[in-house]
Structure 1
Amino acid sequence: MDAAMTELPTPEELRARLEALAARRGFLLPHHGALAAGAPDLHVAYLAMYEALTVMPRQLSPLERECVWLCLLVAAEEAIGTHHLELFRAAGGTDSIAQSLIALAGAAPACDAFAFAHRHWEGQLPALDPASAWASTVAALRGALAPDLADLALLAVQAARGSRVGIARQIERLYAQKVDEARIVEALSYIIWPKGVNAFVEACDVWHRLMVTGAITPSARFAAWRDMPGLGAFDPASGRVVSGFGGEGNDGSARDRAAD
């Protein structure tokens, strides 16, 4: 065996490890067994990532965090995430708040629809303003949710949907409310778990473009990210890093975003 590789566990060691994990978390999902048995180093790193991403306190309060998660679970159709419903209740989440969050998640495609209608039918619907139409929709559905929390949850939803229109709209709304950027990062980062890191990369690409174009004004700390040269994907044809990641979200949303 390569000296750099970790010894795989014995059946007894594996059983003890999984039993300890189940006792700590109260449940055990099947993939833990596969990772612990066949890739123990990766399993350790995975657990550390999970703790840092979803367990350790960051900027959002426990209730705010679980509000974002509830919206995200609906958008991603992740029925398996029932422990987040328990955490939502434990943090003070009510039926009324849950109803508002579910309604917001369900209404998220309307943001794209307003942009689409404005782009294609401006002559027939000259009074339609996508930003104000979306603002009215959110206001009508958010109930008692604080405006910034509703928009943080919707940012996660739009990123989970892959809507560049929706991501841009939410980031603009959050900056208009002067929401701390670390709170935006936290809400957005939760999509890594149900939707994968590429969805997070795409959302951050939208965010970065908004900073570069001057659509939003970042703090000094985030301006350092904005000004970092060489951000982008690798282009195998040219062998160079290129700006951006393809540009279009679902239903041509990049085109619609540019139009409004």
Structure 2
Amino acid sequence: MAAALPDLQDAYGVMYRALTLTDCHLDPFEKEFVWLAILTAADEHVGTHHVDLFFRTGGTGRQAEAAFRLVAWAWGAETFAFLDRHWQGYFPEVPAARGYLDGVAALVAGLDVPPALARLALLGIHAARGEEWALAVDLEAAYGAAVPEPKMAEALSLALWPCGVNQFLKASVVWLTLLRSGRVNPSAPFREWAETPGQDGFVLPPRGGEAG
């Protein structure tokens, strides 16, 4: 980059500091717990400096186990999405979202991870993996548990580094859709974001007068 794209090299350092080194809304341990979960979900074994930071910020083996359990559960979340899309009418006593959320609670019980932090990790995991159904369920659950929106946004944003901007954009569309559904009560800044037109970045305008 220094030889061919110096501006990109400069921007790389600025983005890395803002995303990784700057204290924002997550405290140091919360951030490293979410990082551990996202890197595991993204199969990024080279991110061992975050393993070191996880332990340096007070993380334990039991808490790491919680992160690994959450990633494994997230990989299977499509099972509940399938139930919701196709078979929910046959199993009304097993609501898909409730079954998924109950499983999360059981997985982290007794592993010294607060439910709110588990939820934040799941937001990052689903953003990293592009799991839209589970992300919507966990976002709604986070609102129900009064998880601060800035922490939710920061947890989602960490997926930018290992998984790319498009995964973050797709996660943002899921969040926007939830806000516009009326099922949650956002704060004023996030309500303003949802009400701002032109946020659907993946939708192309019609070409040259063609019908849309």
- Distance (Å, rounded) in 2 between the aligned partners of 1:76 and 1:235: 29
Unpaired runs of 5+ residues, structure 1, are 1-34, 241-260
- Give 1:80's aligned residue: 46
- Give 1:103's aligned residue: 69
The match for 2:160 among 169, 174, 192 is 192
Residue 70 of structure 2 contacts residue 104 of structure 2 at CA under 8 Å; is this kept in 1? yes
Q: Aligned pair 1:209/2:165, yes or no?
A: no
1:128 alignment partner, SS class = coil
- Give 1:160's aligned residue: 128
- Distance (Å, rounded) in 1 between the aligned partners of 2:59 and 2:161: 22
- Distance (Å, rounded) in 1 between the aligned partners of 2:197 and 2:84: 34
Cα offset for 1:39? 1.6
Between 1 and 2, higher relative CO (CA 8 Å, sep ≥ 6) is seen in 2
Pick the structure with greater CA Rg: 1
C-alpha change, 1:198 and 1:95, in structure 2 (3 Å) is same
Give TM-score scaled by structure 2 length.
0.92
Which amino acid counterpart does residue 238 of structure 1 have in structure 2? R
The match for 2:207 among 216, 238, 244 is 238
C-alpha change, 1:179 and 1:239, in structure 2 (3 Å) is farther
Which amino acid counterpart does residue 95 of structure 2 have in structure 1? D
Residue 35 of structure 2 contacts residue 158 of structure 2 at CA under 8 Å; is this kept in 1? yes
- Give 1:11's aligned residue: none
2:186 alignment partner, SS class = coil
Q: How many percent identity over aligned positions? A: 43
Give TM-score scaled by structure 1 length.
0.76
- Distance (Å, rounded) in 1 between the aligned partners of 2:207 and 2:93: 45
- Distance (Å, rounded) in 2 between the aligned partners of 1:178 and 1:58: 18
- Distance (Å, rounded) in 2 between the aligned partners of 1:199 and 1:166: 14
Count of residues in Structure 1 that have an aligned counterpart in Structure 2? 206
Please give the residue correspondences for 1:218-237 in structure 2 after superposition, counting only pairs within 5 Å: 218-233=186-201, 234-235=203-204, 237=206
Deviations 1:85-115 (A, max 9, x none): 0000100111110011101111103332113
C-alpha change, 1:239 and 1:153, in structure 2 (3 Å) is farther
Which amino acid counterpart does residue 181 of structure 1 have in structure 2? E
Residue 74 of structure 1 contacts residue 102 of structure 1 at CA under 8 Å; is this kept in 2? yes
Unpaired runs of 5+ residues, structure 2, are none
Residue 123 of structure 2 contacts residue 156 of structure 2 at CA under 8 Å; is this kept in 1? yes
